[in-house]
Amino acid sequence: MEENPFKVLHVFGKAYDRGYAYGSLMADDLMRFIDVDLQEFYKDEVDQIPLDDLPKWLQDIIKDPLKLAAPEVFDLALAYVYERQKEHIASSPANVWDEADGIVEGMCSVKKCDAASYKKKIRHVNMLPELIRMQCSMMGAWGKATPNDEKLVQLRTLDFGTGPFANVTFLHVSHPEEENSVPFASLSFPGFVGLVTGFSKYVGQCEKVDDVTGKKRPRGTYDGQAVSMVIRDMLQFSETKENAIEIAKNAKRTWSVWLGVGDTKSQEFDAILYYMEEARVLNDTTLPALTNQSYFEDVAYIDKHPQPSSSDDTMTDLVKQYYGNLSASNVVQNFPRLMQSGDVHVAAYDMGTRVAYVSRGMTDSKGQFLRYAYEAPFLSFDMDMLWNEKKRTAVE
């Protein structure tokens, strides 16, 4: 790990200013990730692009390996998604495209690059979570499930497979100055302004990208706001899980996922059956009917397998084994490792003690795993210390 230290980035101000600081501080990481790492990833993953929901002209190009090189094919697909979503995303008060422009201009102030070209690239990169699916697990435990009726513990594991993502995972802590914003943090990748794993001063987030029926994936669309951007809004503009749920319900939704939200106020956790037609809220009592997993009072959980599913009882067995003692330490030490879930990164949030635990995997130069995140040691972060970080000037 010494050769690839885990980075923590704090940025302050309006969206563009935060982006500019981000880009200038991480210029080398950004350029290497966009121009080298992702190009290699595209070569290996081009056959994983889902075709059914893309226009026929684009399907024909993707199916014919002789027409274009894999990175060009990927860029065409990402560009198509971006054009369908750019206005929906721009309507959010998060101003993520201002932030993305700031990232590029900050990077180019250091690397002397073509800003217009990289603004296009970074927009396309941010569409990647809409195009390629991930397999993940999530859980919220509170009340009777925790020792001495302790506060909420949340777990979120990210399984994304081989590629550059594990090595470049870092903690991105935002101190936004937009109206109604709250400080938030994400386990992120260079250039991403959306969010797949994160927590705020008030809310913790989980996600599982999967079909939500156990059958054919529900009807979806690229004509909407990317799920990662909706999650970003849920964290940046919520003080309770109910606030976050309302944002999910009001979003122009695209593709089916499971979302999970817990908060410091209620110290409880809800799952959201999120897809184009609705955002349906579920809890410890109502969730098992859809997942076909055992009911435990004050626990809502979904394993990494397609739902509804009883194909793997490992998570159920672990909840049963540790029920009443689902502390953050027991969860992070045992659940990811024994479930073998979370190859890229793992996050857990102890909403009572206000401590976040994170781990990440490690890959070789070809993107093959040397160590999965579920095998790696966890770093702990005092959430209040993150939010209270002092804004510094350049001379400091």
Q: How confident is the model at residue 46, as a pLDDT?
A: 82
Q: How confident is the model at residue 68, as a pLDDT?
A: 75
Split at pLDDT 50, 70, 90, the class of 396 is low
Q: How confident is the model at residue 394, as a pLDDT?
A: 59
Q: How confident is the model at residue 210, as a pLDDT?
A: 64
Q: What percent of the chain has a predicted confidence (pLDDT) above 90?
A: 77
Sign of CA dihedral 192, 198, 200, 204: positive
- pLDDT over 50 at 178, yes or no: yes
Split at pLDDT 50, 70, 90, the class of 212 is low
- CATH code linked to domain 133-387: 3.60.60.10
Residues 264-287: pLDDT tens digits?
999 999 999 999 999 999 999 999
In 3D space, the residue among 170, 196, 168 whose CA is nearest the CA of residue 36 turns out to be 168
Per the prediction, the chain carries an average pLDDT of: 92
- pLDDT over 80 at 67, yes or no: no
Of the ranges 194-198, 303-307, 360-364, which one carries the lowest mean pLDDT score? 303-307
Residues 20-48: pLDDT tens digits?
999 999 999 999 999 999 999 998 888 87
In 3D space, the residue among 298, 269, 253 whose CA is nearest the CA of residue 204 turns out to be 269
Q: How confident is the model at residue 385, as a pLDDT?
A: 97
In 3D space, the residue among 125, 122, 82 whose CA is nearest the CA of residue 102 turns out to be 122
Q: Are 311 and 305 in contact (CB under 8 A)?
A: yes
- pLDDT over 80 at 19, yes or no: yes
Ordered by start, the domain boundaries in the chain are 10-130, 133-387
Highest mean pLDDT of the ranges 69-73, 78-82, 366-370: 78-82
Straight-line distance from the first to the last Cα atom of the chain, in angstroms, rounded to the nearest whole number: 28
- pLDDT over 70 at 4, yes or no: yes
Give the pLDDT mean for 306-313.
63
Give the pLDDT mean for 366-371.
92
Distance of CA 86 to CAs 97, 225, 328, Å? Answer: 9, 8, 38
Q: How confident is the model at residue 395, as a pLDDT?
A: 46
- pLDDT over 50 at 1, yes or no: no
Give the pLDDT mean for 367-396.
90
pTM: 0.94
- pLDDT over 80 at 214, yes or no: no
**Higher-pLDDT residue of 288, 3:** 288
Of the ranges 21-30, 239-248, 309-318, which one carries the lowest mean pLDDT score? 309-318
Classify residue 368 as exposed, middle or buried by CB count within 10 Å of its CB (0-12, 13-18, 19+): exposed
Which two three-digit tokens encode residue 68?
């274009």
